[in-house]
A and B are shown apart, each in its own frame.
Chain A
Amino acid sequence: DAKTTQPPSMDCAEGRAANLPCNHSTISGNEYVYWYRQIHSQGPQYIIHGLKNNETNEMASLIITEDRKSSTLILPHATLRDTAVYYCIVIKAAGNKLTFGGGTRVLVKP
């Protein structure tokens, strides 16, 4: 599975959009981009995933560049409860092994 690179930490103001970048320049054509997050003392939680097209659900939006070498997770209106470590993971189609890197520690401030 392709390796991902994320900034180690970022702060965000409550109520503002949080844009979390992820670089996956070695991604191959059959690999999906998944985002999970882990709130302190809890298990990881699925957020969203995509292959080529941008995706949106009730939690977030995922923007994947046309060359698929990078993506951005957007939390449209960050709340204090969005404070967590966010993991960007690239995984093959027909694959299930999640490899968690260091993630981005997001702190939402009032």
Chain B
Amino acid sequence: DARVTQTPRHKVTEMGQEVTMRCQPILGHNTVFWYRQTMMQGLELLAYFRNRAPLDDSGMPKDRFSAEMPDATLATLKIQPSEPRDSAVYFCASGPGLAGVTETQYFGPGTRLLVL
């Protein structure tokens, strides 16, 4: 049963520290999405990639957030420096990457981040 995996599942850190979240998309999927979920804002798209290239990161605070795909099996989301307002659940999702059509996204279990 293919699944998106995310690590760590939980992270507690202090304000100012760097946070790195990792995602392994489903094998063969070449579209990767990063979402953030908070009680106040709900689920928000931060960024997404196709074939490892960033297509849209307009939802991401540029000054402290960065998203990359070092290879096809790994996507990373970094926050540096972290702030308490970054506390949220961060979800990664992947899709088959069928260019030109809408597609189903498969979500990972999320990383719960708490910045003190």
Contacts and interface: CB of A to CB of B under 8 A. Distances in A.
B42 interface: yes
Interface of B: 4, 31, 33, 42-45, 48, 56, 91, 93, 95, 100-110
SS class of chain B's interface: helix, strand, loop or mixed? strand
Interface of A: 32, 34, 38, 42-46, 49, 87, 91-102
A101 B44 CA distance: 9
Contacts of B43: 38, 44, 87, 98, 100
B101 A102 contact: no
A91 B104 CA distance: 11
Given A43-B91, A44-B91, A101-B42, A94 B109 contact: no
Nearest to A46: B104
B93 A92 contact: no
Q: Which of B95, B102, B108 counts the most chain A CB atoms within 10 A?
A: B102
Contact of A98 (B45, B100, B110): B45
Contacts of B106: 46
A44 B107 contact: yes
A45 B104 CA distance: 10
Given A43-B110, A45-B107, 15 more contacts: A34-B102, A34-B104, A38-B43, A42-B109, A43-B4, A43-B93, A43-B107, A43-B109, A46-B106, A49-B104, A95-B102, A96-B33, A98-B105, A100-B43, A102-B42
